[in-house]
Amino acid sequence: MVSGFGFATPNQKLETRNQKTNFMKRREFIILSGIGATSASLLSACGHPEEKLIPAFIPDDEYVPGIDYWKASTCGMCPAGCGIIVRTREHKANKIEGNPLHPVNHGALCARGQAGLQVLYNPDRIKGPMKRIGERGEGKWDEISWDEAIKILADELRRTTYAEEAIFVTNDMTGVTAHVANRLMEALRRNAYVVLPLSYDPSSEYPGGPLFDLANATYLISFGARFLEVWHSPVMYSLAYGEFRSSVGKPRGKFIQIEPRMSLTGGNADEWLAPTPGNEVLAALALAQVIVREKLHKGVVSTDLANDLTAFAPETTAAVTDIPHEKLIRIAREFAKAERPLAIGAPGAMGAAMLLNRIVDNTNKSGGVLRSESNDESSPLRMLAPAGRFSTISHFRFPETLNLHQRRVMMIHRFNPVFVTPAVREGILRIPFIASFSSFLDETTELADLVLPDHCDFERWDVRSTSATTGGIVISLTQPVIEPQHNTRQTADVLLDLARELGGDAANALSYESAKDIVEKSVAKFAVNSRRADADTAWQELIDRGMIETTVESKQAQRNQSNKEPSPSLPGVSILAEDSEYPLTAIIYESASHGDGSYANLPALQEVPDPMTSVMWGSWVEINPRTARSLGIKEGDFIDIQTRTGDVRLPALLYPAIRPDVVAIPFGRGHSAYGRYAKNVGANPAPLFPTSERGVGLDSIVRARVVKSNDKGELIRFGTDLQQLMEKKPWR
Ligand code: SF4
């Protein structure tokens, strides 16, 4: 999935690093000298005489028609924070590439990152602030001014009297929106929540959690972590995986993937082990038990832990995991004896993976777990003004946390709860006032009373700190690459105006001019704290290069402490209960293209064939051919997947690389709103899950059964006659 002509092979990466010096010397430079030779020939083949990387704001009279200008910024399509450069010509952005200097992605981008401009130019963007005039969900709106919108919201907030009555919910974990919203809600003594992205484990506290030196590992076991697709920082780990597999200067790494349904990541493994769903943790503990009982461990293991692990011996748990114990014993020995072993895990299995890492004592060692410095500490925004933390909630557990019935005012930003869990729709409808900052009329925004559309990432300011496995902390800048396309406003700016309108503590807590002012001041603070160049130089460096990489002296000190760590303890284990009426298990997995459904409105991503099935523009359910045969199901037959909570009808896709007792459905399609490219394309599997029990084990799993219907459809797959199928609308 990594693409773009900045694609970094290990050799290219060295080239790119060498080029840094030139980049730093010249603020304005000819981009042909800044990217690798392949890129240069591609660019010159396009016939562009000269292309420049420039600061964001160039006066109109300095623009030369016909010249491409490249501006450095940060991809906002997932929290990984890859560096991008955006090509603009005549005030239009027309291409995104990876920033070759950025230590997270080294010039590479994933398909989502490449599709970013379709957010900017999407014809379904909300053009300006609106207030509802019809019934909720009726779609009748009045365009209003920003002043009026902010006054309406301020008046509603003034009517709230206690903390639980007003909430701000966002999935922006570390950016300027979260910073401003958090400080505003603190000043108002109201609540703020951040909803973690789908593939983030709250226990790992990522970002800010550990990094994994996959590139230098020699033996990798992944418990369902789909690091080539959606896990943490897909481009960074895809590049690291390339180095892991390289046999230059070290043995080629061996890779074991443990998951019930083979993902793209699993398809790349040397061995794929398919345990019963949700029992990846048991497999990890069985490996740990073998290592400890055979005294192959290198880290500190307490007697208590050794005793606790006894219950998880592979001979004991094989009946539950369905993995032969001989296989687990062999893998445990290989892992413990490997030169540089490493274990990683999906949400739910991260704790067990970290236990294995501690047992083989790979913390802060080459090829092991790199304890990254806390991003909080290095974040310029936190340096500027330490604010109380948001309460974090995992993606699927927000209904029980948010206590919707207590709320009078809900402000919602970059999160669409009605799509993720349709069952909350009734609860949300009962909230007297909803303000949405969405750029699109998604399922939740349709129910809002007030819409204050945010800028998209190419029109706004932000700064964040991320960590790179190849270096230290990276401070990345998001800056406008073109003027705003509509009458939208950056949400942080709207919240600053809201604070001024409310006055008192809110105005005192947020006395900044603008989001840009916050970003600039925080960079100045960072420059002072990190003893870098003066504030102006640091700011200019960020504007020009899009990022600053810090050298991290404290990392060595942390490495020296690795032996002082106490014995690890046993992670929690939960096993999905059997249900005789529902003999199968349904897995919902995050689509690499559509994420939590936020990118289903981008036609480029609807058009990307799924890497394992080649399906486009629709949803499907994967079922093992043996199971399908036993139920008389053929490819394309519509089948009903039923759980105790709900059901969904989907076309069957016969998929040999899945356990016979499992069916799997990608998440992200099946919107009932959200614009012309998302609406009524595919089906949303969310109703299959009880709202309070999602997120059990890895991804989301639930007991299910399938019933064949009489309907038959045709899946749109890469290589089929797409036009003909689209005209027939077989599955939309
Ligand atoms: S992994 Fe992809 S979507 Fe995420 S920041 Fe990088 S390019 Fe953007």
Secondary structure class of 407 (helix, strand, coil): coil
Residue 81 Cα: closest atom of ligand 1: 5
Cα 509 vs. chain centroid, distance in angstroms? 30
pLDDT of residue 46: 41
- DSSP string covering 535-588, please? HHHHHHHHHHHSEEEPP-THHHHHHHTGGGPPPP-PPP---PPP-TT--EEEEE
Q: Domain spanning 584-728: which CATH class is it, in words? A: mainly beta
pLDDT of residue 560: 45
Ligand 1 geometric centre to CA of 80 (Å): 6
Ligand 1 geometric centre to CA of 229 (Å): 10
Cα–Cα distance for residue pair 412/407, rounded to 1 Å:
13
Cα–Cα distance for residue pair 13/445, rounded to 1 Å:
43
Cα–Cα distance for residue pair 377/383, rounded to 1 Å:
7
Cα–Cα distance for residue pair 632/579, rounded to 1 Å:
23
Q: Please name the residue whose Cα sits nearest to atom 8 of ligand 1.
A: 113
Ligand 1 geometric centre to CA of 594 (Å): 12
DSSP 436: E
Cα–Cα distance for residue pair 4/25, rounded to 1 Å:
25
Q: pTM, whole model, 2 decimals?
A: 0.88
111 lines ligand 1 (CB under 6 A): no
Q: What is the mean pLDDT of residues 145-172?
A: 92
Fold of 1-121+465-479+531-571: N-terminal domain of TfIIb (2.20.25)
Share of the chain above pLDDT 70, in %: 82
- CA 347, 348, 353, 358 torsion-angle sign: positive
pLDDT category, 616, cuts 50, 70, 90? Answer: very high
Residue 77 Cα: closest atom of ligand 1: 3
Residue-wise pLDDT tens digits, 373-425: 555 667 888 888 876 656 777 666 666 667 777 889 999 999 998 998 888 89
CATH code for the part of the protein at 147-199+376-454+489-529: 3.40.50.740
657 vs 557, residue with greater confidence: 657
Best residue among 3, 105, 467 to mutate for probing ligand 1's pocket (most ligand atoms within 8 Å of CB) is 105
Ligand 1 geometric centre to CA of 200 (Å): 14
Asked if 410 and 662 count as a contact pair (C-beta separation under 8 A), the reply is no
Phi, psi torsion values for 172, nearest 5 degrees: -80, 105
230 lines ligand 1 (CB under 6 A): no
Of all helices (H) and strands (E), which one includes residue 664? strand 662-667
Ligand 1 geometric centre to CA of 127 (Å): 26
Residue-wise pLDDT tens digits, 472-524: 789 999 999 999 999 999 999 999 999 999 999 999 999 999 999 999 999 99
Cα–Cα distance for residue pair 676/10, rounded to 1 Å:
41
Best residue among 235, 457, 462, 599 to mutate for probing ligand 1's pocket (most ligand atoms within 8 Å of CB) is 235
Residue-wise pLDDT tens digits, 621-676: 999 999 999 999 999 999 999 999 899 999 999 999 999 999 999 999 999 999 99
Distances (CA, A) of 493 to 56, 416, 499: 19, 22, 10
| pLDDT for 202 beyond 80 | no
pLDDT of residue 676: 96
CATH architecture of the domain formed by 210-370: 3-Layer(aba) Sandwich (3.40)
Residue 98 Cα: closest atom of ligand 1: 7
Cα 695 vs. chain centroid, distance in angstroms? 16
pLDDT of residue 12: 33
Cα–Cα distance for residue pair 570/351, rounded to 1 Å:
8
Q: Please name the residue whose Cα sits nearest to atom 4 of ligand 1.
A: 78
Residue 109 Cα: closest atom of ligand 1: 7
Cα–Cα distance for residue pair 456/96, rounded to 1 Å:
14
Average per-residue pLDDT in the chain?
84
- DSSP string covering 468-492, please? -TTSSEEEEEE--SS--SSS---HH
602 lines ligand 1 (CB under 6 A): no
Best residue among 73, 106, 112, 594 to mutate for probing ligand 1's pocket (most ligand atoms within 8 Å of CB) is 112
User: In the chain, which residues fall in CATH 2.40.40.20?
Assistant: 584-728
User: In the chain, which residues fall in CATH 2.20.25.90?
Assistant: 1-121+465-479+531-571
For the chain, how big is the Rg over CA atoms in Å?
26
Length of the chain equals 732
Residue 105 Cα: closest atom of ligand 1: 6
User: In the chain, which residues fall in CATH 3.40.50.740?
Assistant: 147-199+376-454+489-529
Asked if 182 and 388 count as a contact pair (C-beta separation under 8 A), the reply is yes
Start-to-end C-alpha separation, the chain:
25
- Residue 710: what residue type? N
pLDDT of residue 203: 52
Crossing angle of helices 314-321 and 325-337, in 10° steps, is: 120
Q: What is the mean pLDDT of residues 48-55?
A: 50
| pLDDT for 266 beyond 70 | yes
Secondary structure class of 708 (helix, strand, coil): strand
Q: Please name the residue whose Cα sits nearest to atom 6 of ligand 1.
A: 82
690 vs 47, residue with greater confidence: 690
User: In the chain, which residues fall in CATH 3.40.228.10?
Assistant: 210-370
Instruction: Quote the tokens at residue 281.
Output: 């943790």
